[in-house]
Chain A
Amino acid sequence: MATKELSPIDVYALLPKTNCKLCGEENCMAFATKIVNRVVELELCKPLLEKQYAQSLLKLEEMLRPPVREITLGTGERAVAIGGKLVMYRHQFVYFNPTAIAVEIGDEAPADEIEHRITAVESLSYDYIGQKLKLDLIALRCTSNDARKFGTVAKQVSDRTRLPVILCSLNPDILEAALVVMGKARPLLYAATSENWKEIAELALMYSCPVAASGEGDLDVLNSLASTLMEYGVEDIVLDPGTLPGERIGQTLDNFTMLRRAACEEGNKVLAFPLMGTPISVWSQRREVPEVAKWEEAYLTSALITRYADLLIIHSLDGWVILPNLVWRQNLYTDPRKPVAVDPVLKAFGKPDQASPLLCTTNFALTYYTVASDIEAAGISCYLLVVDTEGISVESAVAGRKLTADKVAESIRTFKASEKVSHRAMIIPGRAARLSGEIEEATGWKVMVGPVDSSGIPKFLQEKWKS
């Protein structure tokens, strides 16, 4: 059954129906609803873990199993889960487990370069809507074709960082040299191919590691590899359909799309695994200027994030390559079912004083950040009253009575706006113009109707605000 069609009734039918509230919900039906919406886990239902419900538990687990298996790379705090996708299209539900991004290191790189790259992957962090956006893994590549060398560098890397590692070599002996030193860290083995799959599968079983399968561009081979590995007893598989840049970008994206469709919409069990892409492939083509390859790697990464990649390996560490992708990944993996909201607050910009203007907006994150960026860009000192409209934008909030005179009055009291400024005038969004009379009545403050778009705030203040 497709996840999107799963109804709480289906889940409820298999629950113990004790209404014991041990899970924290009022009754089993409420719990079933939360289960279907994936906001709680089955383990919270204590009775279900009793022996008599073993069959039901199995059925429920089967019913709730995501069409794309979730696989964990690495161990400990920095372990990364990939896959676990329930739907093909974001608007159908929500995407879980943001695309993990690995930065490569070659085993022939000088020691200081290796250190530099590890440090960069560990420390790169961008503050965005209250989150820290970061890179996730190291992909260690064997360019030396020397097992001993690879093993030595693998040891260096695993001693140095807790980040999960992808070990990249098509030679099983080389991979084993690294597994000997870091086999317990659950690295991803890249890759099993039609040539080496048996040895790689043995390594995976011996060290309990996940394995990437590469059909080297051929989806029939990929399909064969996945079924053979499963048959061999390997459970954690990542599929690499092959990332080819340039004129093959269309075929690459089509392959990802068709594989994800097979798993999410066709119930294909052989291909029910996370997908990985390798934007690093752009470096296979020689270029006069490295910026050209970086540019291509940057946009290829974004396209693969959009088209179903659960894991990516890149080379570039430049901020202008990484940042747009970290932000797009964050955006794509937000829950489309709920508007993104910020906490209601009275926010100070610049160095406001008692005479500074007081503006008002809603707590829809997009609205808030747009207004904030316009204020910051113009270097204005002012206060911004962020009213709780349940994360709804100004226009919709006015129409839906989520932004009302009473709510504004309440916010003014809650955040003690009268203590921050000595005047009694506030600027409301142009789209809330029709509330101006009511707000004046409810607050006793003079209301000025501001611009329809926050980009007009600087000009508005310049012309209309007399402190």
Chain B
Amino acid sequence: MVLLPEENAEKKVGLKFSPKMLELLSKYSEIELEDVEMEIGDLEIWLQPSVTGVQVPRVAPPVKVKPSELLKTEFHRSLRQYPGSIVEVRLGATRAEGGTRGNVVIIGGEKVPPFYLSEGMMPHAPIISLDVFDTEIKLAKAVRMHVEEVLGDPAEWARLCVEKFGADMVNLHLVSIDPLIKDTPPAAAAKIVEKVLQAVDVPLTIGGCGDPQKDLKVFEKVAEVTHGERILFNSVTLDMDVKKTAEVIRKFGHATIAFTSMDMNRARELNRKLYEYLPREDIVIDTTTAALGYGLDYAFSIMERTRLAALMGDNELQHPMASGTTNAWAAREAWMSLAPEWGPRELRGPMWESVTALTLLLTGVDYFMMMHPAAVKTVRDVTAQLTSTPKEDHGNPTSWVTLRI
């Protein structure tokens, strides 16, 4: 097979191939090159006869010539610049800073999409905050077995989370303040918070019950007695008195989660309201986490869009993202006994929480509120792996082919 329509066409027109071109062409085994003069020259002349004014025969119609050697090419990563970046939010305060915490944590600060390692790393590893409830609540069996002994004792529960499960923070839910549960008054709720503050020295998140009026009353009291601790309040919502809530958080030097229900416009709206009273560095956003199987796709797309929009310059969304990952346990596949082929719920449940968490980790979540120790460990391990600098050795990605398992 020949590439050129006329024998020795190159010779006739006195064209010369560059050595590089020859090397490339020599990889096509079927091309005969014996008669080609190997002197200086340039293929471009050959390709653009009009430039030289020499009439060169047209290249034959593309008869596919099989390469005989690997055509070496390179993959060029197309890297981008992002006009926006995420604000850093600092949580907790040490004695030197007016609090009593052993350490502070910082979340946010991203300048590139999550784990686009070619473009950059996350400046701060995501934080895992473990849920503690101030009253006995219904828990999935797989979760309950790990906290059985501390149920109803939030201080001990918090201690267990930090000392045994490695919590970066404790996420105390004041469920009992709910008028429909125990209606615990603000002063009594503040006492619970103080006990937990004494039991552990990690930064705290304080959650309300979801009743907009009652939460505000309790937050006012808690914010006051924890003055200087830089608590993260969970959360301020559009149906609360945003002005009052924000002002009390500002007054006592705390921070807050701005919670909205799966709607980017509402997230922007709430942030706009908050900006009137709070610096951006006091706000973490939570656009709602639905369980795997129960709307995780919505949560995923909204968080992914939110983070990309923020990096592309949307300055109403440039906040660290929080996820109530414990919601994973709302899925029946997490807590229910299913047919034996779906495995024990003791493994399926924490895997459900792990997959929910890791999926959202890949959207850029900075702050996880979690429950099961195995899921917590998984997120911690994967986060460490994702942010580690690997050894030079590439490993062998095809070794699995012949592996005897």
Contact = CB atoms under 8 A, between A and B. Distances in A.
Given A91-B304, A232-B67, A261-B78, A319 B401 contact: no
B400 A250 contact: no
A254 interface: yes
Interface stretch (B157-165, B169-177, B274-282, B342-350): B342-350
A128 B67 CA distance: 49
A220 B75 contact: yes
Interface in A213-263: 214, 216-220, 222-225, 227-228, 231-233, 240, 242-244, 246-251, 253-254, 257-259, 261-262
Contacts of B405: 106, 283, 315
Given A222-B75, A231-B66, A336-B301, A248 B359 contact: no
B72 A89 contact: no
Interface in A32-83: none
A228 B404 contact: no
Given A223-B73, A243-B397, A283-B405, A249 B386 contact: yes
A106 B397 CA distance: 18
Interface string A391-417: 000010000000000000000000000
Contact of A106 (B116, B293, B343, B404): B404
Interface stretch (B41-49, B148-156, B388-396): B388-396
A443 interface: no
Interface stretch (A20-28, A296-304, A349-357): A296-304
B357 to A, nearest CB: 9
Contacts of B104: none
Contact of B395 (A220, A232, A248): A248
Contact of B296 (A108, A242, A328): A328
Given A89-B308, A280-B400, A320-B351, A250 B386 contact: yes
Contact of B330 (A227, A258, A373): A373
B78 A145 contact: no
A366 interface: yes
Contacts of A456: 180
Nearest to A455: B330
B252 interface: no
A247 B383 CA distance: 10
A271 B210 CA distance: 49
Contact of B68 (A198, A246, A284): A198
B39 interface: no
Contacts, number: 234
A254 B362 CA distance: 11
A142 interface: yes
A324 B351 contact: yes
B295 interface: yes
A191 interface: yes
Interface string A327-357: 1100110101000000000000000000000
Contacts of B348: 319-320, 323-324
A145 B68 CA distance: 27
Interface of B is mostly: loop
A190 B67 CA distance: 20
B355 A328 contact: yes
Interface string B84-123: 0000000000000000000000000000000111100000
Given A219-B75, A320-B351, A370-B294, A376 B358 contact: no
A155 interface: no
B259 to A, nearest CB: 14
B404 A108 contact: yes
A170 B355 contact: no
B67 A231 contact: yes
Q: Number of contact residues on A: which range applies?
A: 35 or more
A299 B358 contact: yes
Interface of A is mostly: helix
Q: Number of contact residues on B: which range applies?
A: 35 or more
A142 B116 contact: no
Contact of A191 (B64, B352, B398): B398
A246 B347 contact: no
A97 interface: no
Contacts of B387: 250
Nearest to B333: A323
A378 B333 CA distance: 15
Contacts of A299: 351, 354-355, 358, 378, 382
Nearest to B402: A143
B395 to A, nearest CB: 5
A126 B342 contact: yes
B305 interface: yes
A180 B334 CA distance: 45
A143 B398 CA distance: 12
Nearest to B374: A295
B133 interface: no
B385 interface: yes
B296 A298 contact: no
Contact of B301 (A91, A228, A266): A91
A370 B351 contact: no
B384 to A, nearest CB: 8
A3 interface: no
Interface string B291-315: 0111111101100110010000000
A247 B388 contact: yes
A158 interface: no
A281 B394 CA distance: 14
B295 A395 contact: no
Contacts of B391: 247
Nearest to A332: B297
A195 to B, nearest CB: 9
19 contacts: A124-B341, A142-B402, A223-B73, A247-B388, A250-B115, A254-B116, A283-B400, A295-B378, A298-B355, A303-B359, A303-B382, A306-B300, A323-B342, A323-B348, A331-B300, A336-B297, A366-B298, A370-B294, A455-B330
Given A253-B386, A321-B351, A366-B298, 9 more contacts: A142-B401, A143-B404, A223-B75, A224-B71, A231-B71, A247-B385, A253-B115, A306-B358, A319-B340
The 10 closest A-B pairs by CB, nearest first: A242-B397, A320-B343, A319-B342, A320-B348, A331-B297, A223-B75, A319-B343, A219-B75, A254-B117, A250-B386
